[in-house]
Chain A
Amino acid sequence: MHELAIIEGVVDTVTERLGDAPVSSVRLEIGALSGVVDDSLRFCFELATEGTSLQGATLEITQIPGRCRCRTCGSEFSPDGQILLCPCGSADAEVLAGQDLTIASVKVA
């Protein structure tokens, strides 16, 4: 359940940057290849924000699609699922986008 750790990291970062200012919403950008499950994040959010300045805030999640470049044929492609398989058949690919977990913005009430 590392999603709980992820949300705790979000709470830490937000409170560190904004102090005690009450937060009404948080927008996260979750890469499709980041290994984090949206539903689990939502499940943990309420629990992990309890008693913090983020309590009661809404959680908005924007999915960032995965994007790869094939090291064999050189073309760019969007992987289907977690296996970075190029349409040319090679799985030797460099990830260009979709691996990050980013706190994009917060709304302060």
Chain B
Amino acid sequence: MCATCGCSGKARLRLVTADDTPEVLAAEQLGHDHELSHEHEHRPGHQHRPGHQHEPGHQHSHEHDGGDDRTVILQQKVLAKNDEIAGQNRSWLQGRGVLAVNLMSSPGAGKTTLLERTARELAGQLSISVIEGDQETALDASRISAAGCQVVQINTGVGCHLDASMVAEALRALDPPAGSVVVIENVGNLVCPALFDLGEAARIVLASVPEGADKPVKYPHMFSRADLVLVTKTDLLPYVQFDLARHAADVKQLSPAAQLLQISAVTGDGMREWYDWLRLSLPVT
């Protein structure tokens, strides 16, 4: 079993190019020869690359005798390893002047559609590459690639989230240029991805209006760590019940500093504000 997410298989990583039609990808079953082990046996990577790992050598064990069993005090954070790799990703990205954002939402909230339109409209203005996380298939990667982006697909098998070491591996494959944006499209899930720092500069949560306005209060962990909340599919507002004011108030309560934008990737409403947010978030180099 996978030591990171408990899945029975391994996460698979594949650089998807414009030549990769969905048929080609389906035929090769998504590059089983490019398996990315995300078991916790991560060997140190190469120098100057994300994923370069150091042994956590600053902890101390204290042993106490207590009858037949001896108690060993560990006091070690469970996610220390993930957080350490995420820190390495973050420094590497900052060093290169690359903006990485972690895009999270429930499945079907419009992450890929947003990225497709963004890539097409910002072509020639902003270099965007994408790390696609899905349990299976390269369907999203094909869509993003067709929109003109460099894209790496990570299939997590039964894993419910991306972790920092998968992203480290994907960054190596992408090799994003300075001044560019890397969008990490996390596995569609409002629960598990909230816990795993990937090394991103900002966390973006999408809330689509057909989902209903109650998602922030139902999934507070996800929203409480958001830097930007995008209310998507606003073209559907006349047809669904979605209390924008209530939703905004709940988001504000969970994450007082989070920005909130309303967009429709179908009509284009609000897209300019989203592009402005991206440009303003780029690291100053």
Q: Which residues of A contact B (CB under 8 A)?
A: 1-2, 4-14, 17-18, 24-25, 28, 34-36, 44, 48, 82-85, 91-92, 100-109
Among A18, A44, A104, A109, which residue has its beta carbon within 8 angstroms of that of B75? A104
CB-nearest residue of chain A to B66:
A107
- Give the number of residue pairs across the A-B interface with Cβ within 8 Å: 114
Report the Cα distance A92→B256, complex, angstroms. Answer: 6
- Given A82-B224, A85-B253, A9-B72 contact (CB < 8 Å): no
Asked if B220 is an interface residue, CB under 8 A from chain A, the answer is yes
Asked if B181 is an interface residue, CB under 8 A from chain A, the answer is no
Q: What are 6 of the A-B contact pairs (CB < 8 Å)?
A: A8-B3, A9-B81, A12-B81, A35-B221, A36-B195, A83-B253
Are B69 and A83 touching (Cβ within 8 A)?
A: no
Are B252 and A8 touching (Cβ within 8 A)?
A: no
Q: How close is B79's CB to chain A, nearest CB, in angstroms?
A: 6
Given contacts A82-B224, A106-B71, 5 further A-B pairs with CB under 8 A are: A12-B81, A17-B76, A24-B69, A84-B254, A108-B70
Are A104 and B256 touching (Cβ within 8 A)?
A: no
Q: Which residues of B contact A (CB under 8 A)?
A: 1-6, 40, 59, 61, 66, 68-82, 159-161, 163, 191-192, 194-196, 217, 220-221, 224, 252-254, 256
Are A8 and B40 touching (Cβ within 8 A)?
A: yes
Report the Cα distance A105→B189, complex, angstroms. Answer: 32
Among B2, B73, B76, B196, which residue has its beta carbon within 8 angstroms of that of A8? B2
Are A8 and B77 touching (Cβ within 8 A)?
A: no
Are A8 and B6 touching (Cβ within 8 A)?
A: yes
Are A103 and B69 touching (Cβ within 8 A)?
A: no
Report the Cα distance A6→B224, complex, angstroms. Answer: 20
Report the Cα distance A105→B221, complex, angstroms. Answer: 27
Q: How close is B55's CB to chain A, nearest CB, in angstroms?
A: 9
B-chain residues with CB within 8 Å of residue A24 when the two chains form the complex: 69
Are A44 and B74 touching (Cβ within 8 A)?
A: no
A-chain residues with CB within 8 Å of residue B77 when the two chains form the complex: 100-103
Are B5 and A4 touching (Cβ within 8 A)?
A: yes
- Given A100-B77, A101-B79, A18-B72 contact (CB < 8 Å): yes
- Given A35-B195, A104-B73, A105-B73, A2-B61 contact (CB < 8 Å): no
A-chain residues with CB within 8 Å of residue B194 when the two chains form the complex: 35
A-chain residues with CB within 8 Å of residue B254 when the two chains form the complex: 83-84, 91
- Given A17-B74, A82-B221, A102-B76, A5-B69 contact (CB < 8 Å): no
Among A5, A85, A101, which residue has its beta carbon within 8 angstroms of that of B6? A5
B-chain residues with CB within 8 Å of residue A7 when the two chains form the complex: 6
Report the Cα distance A104→B72, complex, angstroms. Answer: 9
B-chain residues with CB within 8 Å of residue A12 when the two chains form the complex: 3, 40, 81
Are B75 and A102 touching (Cβ within 8 A)?
A: yes
CB-nearest residue of chain A to B41:
A12
Are B71 and A105 touching (Cβ within 8 A)?
A: yes
Q: How close is A94's CB to chain B, nearest CB, in angstroms?
A: 11
B-chain residues with CB within 8 Å of residue A11 when the two chains form the complex: 3
